[in-house]
Chain A
Amino acid sequence: MAAVYKALSKTDSKKDDETKTNGMFKENRQRVLMLTSRGVTFRHRHLLNDLYSLMPHSRKEAKLDTKTKLYQLNELAELYNCNNVLFFEARKGKDLYAWMSKPPNGPTVKMHVQNLHTMDELHFTGNCLKGSRPILSFDAAFDKEAHLVVLKELFTHAFGVPKGARKSKPFVDHVMGFTIVDGKIWIRCYQINETEADKSKSIPEGDVPVEEAPKKGRSTETSLNLIEIGPRFVLTPIVMLESSFGGPVIYENKEFVSPNQIRADLRKSKAGRFNRRSEAQIETKSKLGDMGLTTYGGRKNPKDPLDNQVLFA
């Protein structure tokens, strides 16, 4: 209740600003509803748990029972005051699709999740505070195409922890990387490790004596390095809808081949061999029949008038 009051009082005080900015909030306020469909495997569930631990501004919900009436998610999001939905849909107990949406009327994107590795199975030594705010690092390729720009915005909203979010910590100790390679989005999470630079290390760096002087002045020279935390996964955007879990399709990935298709093709390619062989068999049989070499069916040779059976009948 207190949070609601706080929020209300804040908006009241800043109402003038808001009207100035054409109705847009000056602050970055995000809340993410996070849930899966039925039929997820343990890895999918662990991924959700990992993301939940990394995103203090998220709310985990029970599994959604339906896979067709996804517009129900809009109501759920409204119920929990969430303006982002991250929905993991499992198909056939093996394929995972991620839906990311901005209810009530933002765009929706459906992505295929591949190369999924949870924190548990990746034995990475990195660790970060639960609820610290990440730095989001985007590839410059995100600004190249219209659908990627939208995707970047959606990622920023969903994965970036807003300032002053509930349960968030005031330090920055991890970074999330989003990179586009091969038309897919690769996501990594690293811990930021700050260490005091060794003096022995700084001496060979400072070849020029002029540069060395200011370095000595700053006693707190630190070197940064990253340690991976996990999880790892790769997203392939499939389709974008104009509104939240509905509306016209505004983008469709031409290159995406559904895993069902791949499996079916594999099966068909195996079946193809059998079909070719059986066809060849039938062909030989018919050829032999045409030459009158088969016992049953095919062309019969005309009786020879000099055959013993004809001559001595």
Chain B
Amino acid sequence: MAKAKLKQALAQFKGVDQKLERQKRLKKQAEKKKRSKAVDEEVELEEAEDGEDDEEDGGVELDLEAINDSDSSSNNEELTNGAGEDSKDDADGVDGVDGEDEEEEDIPFSDIASIASEDKGDIVPYQRLTINNITALQAAHKRIALPYSKLTFSQHQTITTAEPVTIEDVDDDLNRELAFYAQSLSAVKAARGLLKAEGVSFARPADYFAEMVKSDEHMGRVKAKLVDTAASKKASSEARRQRDLKKFGKQVQVAKLQERDKAKRETLDKINLLKRKNEPDLFDVELEDTATTVKKDRNAKRTSRGGANGAPNKRRKKDEKFGFGGKKRFAKSGDANSSADMKDYSVAKMKGRRGKARPGKDRRAAGRD
């Protein structure tokens, strides 16, 4: 036992990872086993291995786990070996996953020419090697799977839909999200029934207050955003309405103007028609005698020079502008006519018989309010 302890201490000092070491050893064993194919020997070896582990770990708790681990890992080895050589070839570990190495693994299509279009000029298409080691995957699943048959529903709370969700077009956002929603909703309904059956509390009571995932500040922002969008929607619709109204109003105005124009034209046409009807015969011409012609000419000359009453045009204009003749004094003073005017005279006023006395200032002010 002391020896084992010393060993352990040494290992710790060196920083050796025991589990890794053990895995390596197991791997070697598995290879050896594959070569020899001696099953019995292998079991013996395993047992010896487990014994060693016990000594190294020196714990009872971990013992169980250790056995479990070694069992499962050896199982895996067998499985991977059995699964075929491809997994062995690609078993380079994590490095094989990096981006640079991915490109090395890729192989170009042989029939590029048939696919390549004009634009694809220099692209070399790649095809990834398929690795799908089903046995290893199943083993991995078995290793980590929860014992669902032994767990109550409330312990794992997973629901799988009966039918796979099918979505025709991934880019159709609305239908896609609807399908997700429907999936979750059906799961919730099923889970609710199961939880109720188990007597587990489901919905949060209204008076249960605790910290939420989104803080009040965050929810406030969400609310503000909602209000904002609603307001902007309302404003835009209002603006559209106004625009439509304006457009319509303009149309109405234009229509009205056109109508008015039309009416005007029509009336003018009518008048012209009437005029033409009342017009004397154009060809019924009669000659004037010379005396009247001379008289008319003189008259026309006079009116063109001095207006109707014969005053010269300039004088008339000046009179209009500056006023003409007569005295300006006493224009507003009373005369015989004004004093004889009895329009404003009232007997009641003269006799002091008033209808209603005017109320006092305070009362007037109060009455105004």
Contact = CB atoms under 8 A, between A and B. Distances in A.
Nearest to A279: B121
B145 A153 contact: yes
A229 interface: yes
A243 to B, nearest CB: 8
B293 interface: no
B269 interface: no
A202 interface: no
Interface in B123-154: 123, 126-134, 136-138, 140-141, 143-147, 150-151, 154
B160 A142 contact: yes
B76 A242 contact: yes
A123 B221 contact: yes
A54 B122 CA distance: 47
Contacts of A251: 131-133, 137
Given A120-B218, A224-B185, A268-B122, A156 B94 contact: no
A286 B150 CA distance: 81
A138 B184 CA distance: 8
B364 to A, nearest CB: 61
Contacts of A153: 141, 144-146
B30 interface: no
A43 interface: no
A294 interface: no
Interface in A104-154: 104-107, 110, 119-120, 123-125, 127-144, 146-147, 149-150, 152-154
Nearest to B132: A251
Interface stretch (A34-42, A157-165, A205-213, A300-308): A157-165
B348 to A, nearest CB: 75
A26 B149 CA distance: 10
Given A54-B213, A160-B156, A179-B183, A272 B87 contact: no
A192 interface: yes
B155 A171 contact: no
Contacts of B167: 181
A254 B156 contact: no
B137 A250 contact: yes
| Among B94, B140, B154, B162: residue with most chain A CB under 10 A | B140
Interface stretch (B6-14, B39-47, B203-211, B329-337): B203-211
Contact of B188 (A141, A224, A243, A275): A224
B69 A105 contact: yes
| Among B91, B184, B226: residue with most chain A CB under 10 A | B184
B226 A226 contact: no
Contact of B131 (A129, A171, A249): A249
B165 A23 contact: no
Given A139-B164, A146-B134, A28 B146 contact: yes
A186 B180 contact: yes
B99 A250 contact: no
Contacts of B88: 248
A30 B76 CA distance: 23
Interface string B225-239: 110000000000000
B120 to A, nearest CB: 6
A125 B23 CA distance: 50
Interface stretch (B51-59, B60-68, B313-321): B60-68
Contacts of A190: 181, 184
B89 to A, nearest CB: 10
A171 B130 contact: no
B258 interface: no
Contact of B144 (A123, A129, A142, A154): A154
A256 B128 contact: yes
Contact of B155 (A19, A162, A241, A255): A162
A106 B133 contact: no
B161 A140 contact: yes
Contact count band on B: 35 or more
Contacts of B211: 129-131
A156 B156 contact: yes
Interface string B161-201: 11111010010000011011101111111011001000011
Contacts of A127: 212-214, 219
A250 B155 contact: no
A246 B146 contact: no
Given A127-B214, A172-B191, A181-B170, A137 B183 contact: yes
B50 to A, nearest CB: 13
A261 interface: yes
A130 B214 CA distance: 8
A2 interface: no
| Among A107, A134, A222: residue with most chain B CB under 10 A | A107
A175 B184 contact: yes
B158 interface: yes
A198 interface: no
A186 to B, nearest CB: 7
A240 interface: yes
Nearest to B146: A28
B104 interface: no
A31 interface: no
Contacts of B68: 23
A124 B222 contact: yes
18 contacts: A128-B213, A135-B159, A136-B156, A136-B157, A137-B158, A137-B160, A141-B164, A143-B160, A146-B132, A150-B144, A175-B188, A179-B179, A241-B94, A242-B80, A249-B97, A250-B131, A252-B129, A275-B121
Interface of B: 19, 23, 61, 64-65, 67-69, 72-73, 76, 80, 87-88, 90-94, 96-99, 102-103, 118-123, 126-134, 136-138, 140-141, 143-147, 150-151, 154-165, 167, 170, 176-177, 179-181, 183-189, 191-192, 195, 200-204, 208, 210-214, 218-219, 221-222, 225-226
Given A26-B151, A138-B160, A146-B132, 20 more contacts: A91-B99, A123-B226, A124-B222, A127-B212, A129-B204, A137-B159, A137-B183, A140-B162, A142-B160, A149-B141, A150-B140, A153-B145, A172-B202, A175-B187, A247-B93, A248-B87, A248-B136, A252-B132, A272-B123, A273-B119
